[in-house]
A = this chain, B = another copy of it.
């Protein structure tokens, strides 16, 4: 088996100038946004990526059928305007594998004529965030004004921050190939899957790409999550009172 194996489901007319990456990460923020876009746009799956740098396992679906762990490439086109998505459930199991996979993702991007990559992720802050910002980074300085105009914040810059894994390497290695890279990171606690942060990130991404979709499903998931958190907090407070009554 090669290190990475890419399979296209069709070969013709699959170019696109834009690639949106939403692999799993902090709060699954990037994954939530990319998966939501694919669902709302009814994007077409055009490729699959298997790799011995992924965990050695299969997933069992609802029919009891196994599926080798893979990342996937989707494509959406409307009015001659096309966009690719890189999504899936896995990143590399090793440091070296991250480099090998990112270079291969960029090979695909180059082959399909991609000029710009949006790398989506979360930005963990360690506490619940009332109004999550969309923190940003770019791999070429001229991209910054455009991101700021769309509502992306650069308040994270300058603190010696790093971006780890596929999102980071797509920007870092992409820059060497002349591919523009914009990383959008929804502020999130890091403790929960965070559709609220994803909702905010989607707004900024839509302004940048011009791709508008309905937010309802994402917002419903955000409300569900809010209620779960509220119940947990209530339970903890009740427990606190109980403990106090013992003392009292």
Q: Is A75 an interface residue (CB 8 A)?
A: no
Residues of B within 8 Å of A235, CB to CB, are none
A92 touches B56 (CB 8 A): yes
Residues of B within 8 Å of A159, CB to CB, are 60
Q: Is A93 an interface residue (CB 8 A)?
A: yes
Closest Cβ of chain B to A191, distance in Å, is 20
Closest Cβ of chain B to A175, distance in Å, is 7
Complex A-B: 20 CB contacts under 8 Å: A52-B95, A52-B99, A53-B96, A56-B102, A58-B137, A58-B162, A58-B168, A58-B172, A59-B160, A60-B137, A60-B161, A63-B141, A64-B156, A65-B141, A65-B144, A66-B163, A68-B172, A68-B175, A93-B96, A94-B95
Q: Which residues of A contact B (CB under 8 A)?
A: 1, 52-53, 55-69, 92-96, 98-100, 102-103, 136-141, 144, 154, 156-165, 168-169, 171-173, 175-176, 181, 183
